[in-house]
Structure 1
Amino acid sequence: MTRLQDQHSTERIHTFNVIPEEEGKRLDRLLADRFPDISRERWKRAIEEGDVKTSKKKVASSYRPALGETITCRLPELKESSQPVPESIELCVLYEDEWLAAIDKPAGMVVHPAHGHASGTLVNAILHRYGKKLAADRDPVRPGIVHRLDRDTSGVMIVVFDDAVRRAMQRLFRQHEVERVYDAIVWGDFTAPRAVIELPIARSGVNRKKMVVREDGKPAITGVEKIDGNGQISHLQCKLVTGRTHQIRVHLSHIGHPVIGDPLYGGCRGAGKWPSQLLHASRLSFIHPVTKEMISFESPLAERFKPYLDEIDMSHQNHT
């Protein structure tokens, strides 16, 4: 049987479990996203040649693994130049112990290296700070990473230093035992004081970078509470019940309240320069997988929110 190999590399085997962000993806796309140095076409060949195994006896490129499903794949050794390298990038560390850390990720920072983002990522930064302490769990492209934030979303992220803790944290995310609270400023007057948005989400068949609300999509639930507003824009607090790709952005856009500054989902209205999308992971809470204590990490709203919050406050003053 032909194996993935080339004249400059040696083979290695990776085993991993499907995380929430990967659920619902085709197997070939999932692998190409997880291992960005290997093309999707090459993964298709590898799957056809039997170099990718799941808990199912037989899989095709179109197979969509379930959340938590184990995948074993044979792939070439990454070239040295394509391995993530430590970079001296300033990090805001909210908390750290011997098992994990909470990082306040800035907007504009990609979580891990991928095509077009080989450096300047959170992984490059945490490699510099923590080095080999990070849990790799046979995934050197994303050491220490157990969940993600979109590039232009700021706020709390967890990184882990122990492979057992990594697996435990993935299980907490998978079982919806991590409370994730986000602040968003959106267009329009969100009139309900509280709401639950329960709409299924799938990848767009037109724009593969975009997610859409669709009947055949994965179940997705977002809790929303209105904090303030001025009739033109609204400050919302959103709680993820599920964790689909772009979930908050998709849900709010679908009901007519796109996140301000979000170019993908209608948040950039009119001419002018927009800030990074006004979406911020403000709080993350869970039971520590080792100490078994409830822990909660909070990140203050990023500076880019201030002009919009001031605008809301000013409108209240003008009406008094």
Structure 2
Amino acid sequence: MTDSYSFTINNETGRIDKFLTEKISNLSRTRVQELIKEKDILVNGKPVKGAYKINQNDEISVTIPPKAPLSLEPENLHLDIIYEDNDVIVVNKPQGMVVHPSAGHPDHTLVNGLLYHTQELAKSPEGFRPGIVHRIDKDTSGLLMVAKNDLARQSLENQLANKTNKREYLAIVHGNFDNLSGVIDAPIGRNPNNRKQMAVNPKGKTARTHFEVLEQFKDYALVKCILETGRTHQIRVHMKYIGHPLAGDPLYGPKKTLKGHGQFLHAATLGFEQPTSHKWLEFSVQVPKIFQEQLEKLRK
């Protein structure tokens, strides 16, 4: 179904993308720019450029065509399967891989690789996340647990909700620490000034991260972070909040940082209760090569 909107500018000012994201809920600035390029946004009946600034009495028309449905195609992505039984799969996701398909990433995702590996994946309410019970960011590497049936999905989701599983991360962060361990207890929500970012926000959801400094270098440190909750970008937001943003982080870190392919963050250890046998399972994987090479440079 196509959605259409029209606005007449009165006293508003500023860029058209900012104006429309405030007027139309669930419309991001990125999506506005896409619609401008497709000439689905017109001002006074004519297409405009992405940086157009609105003027008094402008007549803006917006047409939002329906997005093509996501198709889940199996792909042989040579996944690194660490463990598998009748209920769960533990996979070591490489840096740069998105977990599930979305409008911006329709294929080459972890889900596409899982569908090639097995047809036994728990159904998801959204349809495009079979087996997925938790996520890690595209440029974060490491361990994920995947549910192969509905019983397993319910069990793993309950463990996440009840905070009974174990998720430990390794991160290279900026700066040195006086306190070598601590707990960051600060709610996280959408950054009101930047829709792409999350931030510590009093109106956000409860978020707790435990950290322990493992090594300190000149201007950097290696830190272990243990998640108690699992909010979007939680470690990245919390470490920035205490003045130690992740090295290489393009969204939350400084411009002068370590060279890599995004933030130096690795889901190193994962533990949970097996859904059927109730046996405790725990797995650890080494950091990827680029992470290890950067550590060796810092140690020198």
TM tier, smaller: 0.7 to 0.9
Alpha-carbon contact 1:268-1:274 (below 8 Å) kept? no
Alpha-carbon contact 1:260-1:268 (below 8 Å) kept? no
* CA deviation vs aligned residue, 1:58-90 (integer Å, no higher than 9, x gap): xxxxxxxxxxxxxxxxxxxx97x7321101111
Alpha-carbon contact 1:186-1:236 (below 8 Å) kept? yes
Is 1:201 matched with 2:207? no
- Amino acid of the structure 2 residue aligned with 1:303: K
Unaligned runs of 5+ in 1: 6-27, 34-77, 315-320
Shift of 1:267: 4.4
Shift of 1:129: 0.6
More deviation in 91-100 or 301-310?
301-310
2:295 corresponds, among 288, 303, 309, to 309
Shift of 1:311: 2.6
Between the aligned partners of 1:303 and 1:175, the Cα distance in structure 2 is: 34
* CA deviation vs aligned residue, 1:205-246 (integer Å, no higher than 9, x gap): 122221111222222111000100113110000001111111
SS of the residue corresponding to residue 135 of structure 2 reads coil
Shift of 1:200: 1.4
Aligned residue number for residue 47 of structure 1 = none
Between the aligned partners of 1:312 and 1:191, the Cα distance in structure 2 is: 19
Between the aligned partners of 1:197 and 1:138, the Cα distance in structure 2 is: 32
Shift of 1:313: 2.4
Is 1:286 matched with 2:272? yes
Aligned residue number for residue 110 of structure 2 = 122
Is 1:217 matched with 2:204? yes
Aligned residue number for residue 91 of structure 1 = 79
Between the aligned partners of 2:171 and 2:113, the Cα distance in structure 1 is: 26
Aligned residue number for residue 9 of structure 1 = none
Runs of 4 or more above 4 Å deviation: none
Aligned residue number for residue 275 of structure 1 = 261
Is 1:261 matched with 2:242? no
Between the aligned partners of 1:137 and 1:187, the Cα distance in structure 2 is: 38
Share of identical aligned residues, percent? Answer: 39
Between the aligned partners of 1:268 and 1:107, the Cα distance in structure 2 is: 20
Is 1:229 matched with 2:216? yes
Aligned residue number for residue 236 of structure 2 = 249
Between the aligned partners of 1:278 and 1:188, the Cα distance in structure 2 is: 14
RMSD: 2.2
Alpha-carbon contact 2:174-2:219 (below 8 Å) kept? yes
Alpha-carbon contact 1:261-1:275 (below 8 Å) kept? yes
Shift of 1:138: 4.7
Between the aligned partners of 1:137 and 1:266, the Cα distance in structure 2 is: 33
Is 1:154 matched with 2:141? yes
Is 1:134 matched with 2:118? no
Aligned residue number for residue 186 of structure 1 = 173
- Amino acid of the structure 2 residue aligned with 1:239: I
SS of the residue corresponding to residue 82 of structure 1 reads coil
Between the aligned partners of 1:219 and 1:155, the Cα distance in structure 2 is: 24
Alpha-carbon contact 2:173-2:221 (below 8 Å) kept? yes
* CA deviation vs aligned residue, 1:188-208 (integer Å, no higher than 9, x gap): 112322111111111011222
Between the aligned partners of 1:203 and 1:232, the Cα distance in structure 2 is: 29
- Amino acid of the structure 2 residue aligned with 1:89: L
- Amino acid of the structure 2 residue aligned with 1:165: A
Aligned residue number for residue 112 of structure 1 = 100
SS of the residue corresponding to residue 118 of structure 2 reads helix
> Which one has a bigger Cα radius of gyration?
2
Between the aligned partners of 2:164 and 2:196, the Cα distance in structure 1 is: 28
Pair 1:267–1:160, CA change in 2 (3 A): farther
- Amino acid of the structure 2 residue aligned with 1:280: H
Shift of 1:255: 1.3
Shift of 1:307: 2.7
Between the aligned partners of 2:70 and 2:204, the Cα distance in structure 1 is: 34
TM-score, scaled relative to structure 2: 0.75
